[in-house]
Each structure stands twice: as C-alpha cells, then as structure tokens.
Structure 1
Amino acid sequence: MSEIKEVLYSEEEIKEKVKELGERIREDYKDKNLLLLGILKGCVPFMADIMRSIDLDLEYDFMDVSSYQGTRSMGEVRILKDISTNIVDKDILIVEDIIDTGVTLSYLTKLLRSRGAKSVEIVTMLSKPSRRKVELPVKYNGYEIDDHFVIGYGMDYNERFRGLPYIGILDESVYSNSEE
C-alpha cells in the first residue's frame, strides 16, 4: 500500500506486546474487581486481544469520546456514548489505542473517579509523550512513539485503515491536502 509510509510494529510484535501487557495486568488485578473500559472506536482490536491475554473474570464496557476531527486534536472533550455499567467501587482500566495530548484521558480519569470508581488506570498500545498537554500517569504502555500519524490495529484516518493487522505511519500525501 503506497499510502503507508512505514510499518512501525508488525502483527507479531503487537501480539508479543499484548501478551506482555496482559501478564502484568493479570498479576496486578488478580484480586480486584476489574472493569475494562474501552474507548471507541480505535480500542476494539486492542481491547479484544488484551481481554483474552489478561485471562481473568472481569467486566467490560465502552465509551465513545471525541476530541478529534480529521488529524487534529481539538482539545474539547465530548462524550458521544457514556458507560452503562455501575462503576462504584470498581477498579477501572481504561483501554486506549493511542495517547496523544492526554486531554481526553485526563478528563475521563477525573470523571470516573468522581462517579465512585475505586481506582482508575490506563493501558495504551501507543503513547506520544512529545504531544502531551497535561500530566497523565499511564500504568501500562505498549510503545512510546515520535509524533507520527499512525494507522492500523484500530487506528484510522477518516475511518480508513482500522482493519490493518499492523501499525503503520500514514504517508503525509494522504492527509496533507485535506488539512487546509
């Protein structure tokens, strides 16, 4: 695919990273009341894989939250689909595909705590520390990456490329004309 500039992480590398993260999470949450909270839509492949890798009796739910339009993080957080599970006294692990500015997850972490969650932690496949606008502790981080526009393994550009089994860098020519 000429639209893909480079493959950052292969399908096999992703599987190994998910296994490693799952083992750590399983150990940390084996005696807790774990609720995985996936942030739609990008989390879906990672959420399914990490859930199987954790191999614990757990609950899960989803939220759809937006602060993006195209390739730009807008900074304003909007909840499009709220969680439907009672979270009081639950140990929540937010499952995110990628952390960019951290604004959305900082907002969600505070919101979930205010609603009575016992604890709130984050697991992400990718993190871009150079883009961070807020201090955000991330307990489980797959990979730290430079500021590239990445796609695949649930991540998209205008709903394209989500189904790729690997994580790649999108060629700038794909989105540079649409950012006027």
Structure 2
Amino acid sequence: MEETITLHDKKFRIMIPAEKIDEAVSAVAARINADYADKQTPLFVGVLNGSFMFMSDLIKKIEFQNELSFVKLASYEGTASTGEVKSLIGLNTPIEGRHVIIVEDIVDTGESIDHMIGELERHHPASIAVCTLFFKPGSYRKQRQIKYRAMEIGNEFIVGYGLDYDQLGRSLKDIYVVTE
C-alpha cells in the first residue's frame, strides 16, 4: 500500500485502509440481511461506475436470494458535482411490487440519489432503500432517508475502491484523500 499517490495533477494520501472498508461492508451487509431475509428476491441496483467494487463485496456477504442490475448516472466533473444528473444507462428489469436496494459508492449532495429514486418510484416498487459506502452528512441537501450507510465522512474528495478522479484511482483497494 502506497501512503501517497499522484493522479493527474493532484496528490492523495491514504485515508481508509482496505481492512476498515471490509469491516464496514460486513456491518452494513449484516443489517441488510436482517431486514430483507423474509422478502421475496430483492433487487440490488448498483450505480455505475463507482459502486462496482462495493456492490461486488457487498453482494458476496448477502445471505438471501436476490437479483442484480446496474444503472449509470453522471453528475461529477473533476472533483466537483455539476448539480445536474444525467441518466446514461437505464434499468431494464421490471421492478413493480419488488423491494429495491440502490447501491451507491458515495452520497454527498443527494442530487443523483434523489433523481434516481424519483425515476424508480414511477415504476411502483414495493420499497426502495439506499445503501451507500460513504455518506457526507455535511453536504447532503435532500430529505430522502439514506438507510444503509457503511461509513460517514466529511467533505473530503476521495478516490479508490471504485471512486475516481477523472477516471483514475478506481482500482485502488484503499481510500485516498486529496491533499492538494
């Protein structure tokens, strides 16, 4: 594990080691297992690209029958949210009457997750819950409940474990924070 890395024009230092991430994923999976064990085949919907590592590790710890699907949204350029959400790849799985768990890498302002929940609600699922690896309570501006939060962080810009800086850093197993 490198203590510091450079991606494009920015330097990053390690913030959360892989072992702590795995502990947080296990804890949030245990909560989901307890809440959904008696539900009929819940659908996990991963938000690409950032959630792919989290979704993979999370789903390995889920102990009930489930299905997986993915959507792709975009709201970031560089290190800042654009404030505008673009749906790039849509959901092709029917969700009417189903329990849906959205799996996100990070929820900060809430714009993307608010947009996505609004879109999914039009298809009349039985329920919608959000599971995020990282939640930024200091940035969150929406009213929707983020039920499953693996970790809460400040307003730092982070990369690794699926999160990127202009497409770099996703494959890092640890979380790094920008230093300059």
TM-score where L is the length of structure 1: 0.91
Q: How does 1:5-154 map to 2 (within 5 A)?
A: 5-33=12-40, 34-154=42-162
Identity %: 34
Please state how far the C-alpha of 1:6 moved relative to its aligned partner: 2.9
- Structure 1 residue matching 2:61: 3-state secondary structure: helix
* Structure 1: runs of 5 or more not aligned: 173-180
Contact 2:44 2:67 in 1 (8 A): yes
* Structure 2: runs of 5 or more not aligned: none
Q: Which moved more, 1:132-141 or 1:159-168?
A: 132-141
Please state how far the C-alpha of 1:41 moved relative to its aligned partner: 0.2
Please state how far the C-alpha of 1:56 moved relative to its aligned partner: 1.6
Q: Distance in 2 between matches of 1:47 and 1:2?
A: 25
TM-score where L is the length of structure 2: 0.91
Instruction: For 2:16, give the aligned amino acid.
Output: Y
Higher relative helix content: 1
Instruction: For 2:64, give the aligned amino acid.
Output: L
Please state how far the C-alpha of 1:67 moved relative to its aligned partner: 1.3
Contact 2:161 2:174 in 1 (8 A): yes
Query: Alpha carbon RMSD of aligned pairs, Å?
Result: 1.2
- What is the total number of aligned residue pairs between the two structures? 172
Instruction: For 2:137, give the aligned amino acid.
Output: P
Please state how far the C-alpha of 1:8 moved relative to its aligned partner: 2.0
Please state how far the C-alpha of 1:168 moved relative to its aligned partner: 1.3
Instruction: For 1:21, give the aligned amino acid.
Output: V
- Structure 2 residue matching 1:86: 3-state secondary structure: coil
